[in-house]
A = this chain, B = another copy of it.
Amino acid sequence: MTTGQDTRAQGGTGRTRGRPRSFDRATALEKALMAFWEHGYEATSVSDLTRVMGIGAPSLYAAFGDKRTLFDEVVRVYAGSHGAFTDRALAEEPTARAGVARMLREAAAEYTDPAHPHGCLIVHAATNCTSPEVETLLRDMRNANITAIEARIRADVAAGLLPAGTDAAALARHTGAMIQGMSQQARDGARREELEALAEIAMTIWPHD
């Protein structure tokens, strides 16, 4: 058996044969997420992981595959939870401008939340990484995020909500750089109010202010 796939837990009543797992998979995954978030992919060793997850190495490999696969799942979970505020802001606000404003405001709060490591996992966890695949995985997510912002801005330009001459690409890249800069600032000890002031300032670059 070489596949580490976990096909159980399909609804609660679906029982399985064999000895049941002695730990909660989701809880252990969350612990792994926190460790990767705090120290990054390479600097988090498998023995670090087994310690914070409270399980042995064979259990980790049986439940999550290898370290790389576990990290992939962690990134997926992160993108759908702590990292989902950017997509939500773009989708739920009526204009690109309001979406970006909310995105930056929420980033200030999220990146300095004392309940978890500071900054953004997708920005930092694969920096200085020996594995090019892992580095590329997060880089692509960062660039995709900027592309999504650009598309949202373009839509507003097309709808006449923004001036026709608006440089959507530059505006989107600026937003991405601000997010990444705020994440770095949060890691370097900036407080929430300071990042909120940053977000406020950053919004003044938008057309007709």
Contacts and interface: CB of A to CB of B under 8 A. Distances in A.
Interface of A: 39-43, 123-125, 127-130, 139, 142-143, 167, 169-171, 173-174, 176-182, 184-185, 187-190, 194, 197-198, 201-202, 204-205
A181 B182 CA distance: 8
A201 to B, nearest CB: 5
Contact of A194 (B127, B173, B180, B202): B173
Contact of A170 (B39, B142, B201): B201
A170 to B, nearest CB: 4
Sort A-B residue pairs by CB-CB distance and give the 8 closest, nearest first.
A40-B128, A177-B181, A181-B181, A127-B127, A180-B184, A170-B197, A43-B128, A180-B181
A176 B125 CA distance: 21
Q: How many copies does the complex hold?
A: 2
A41 B128 contact: yes
Contacts of A127: 40, 124, 127-128
A129 to B, nearest CB: 7
Nearest to A193: B170
B139 A128 contact: no
Nearest to A43: B128
A174 B108 CA distance: 13
A201 B184 contact: no
A118 to B, nearest CB: 12
B174 A198 contact: yes
B42 A184 contact: no
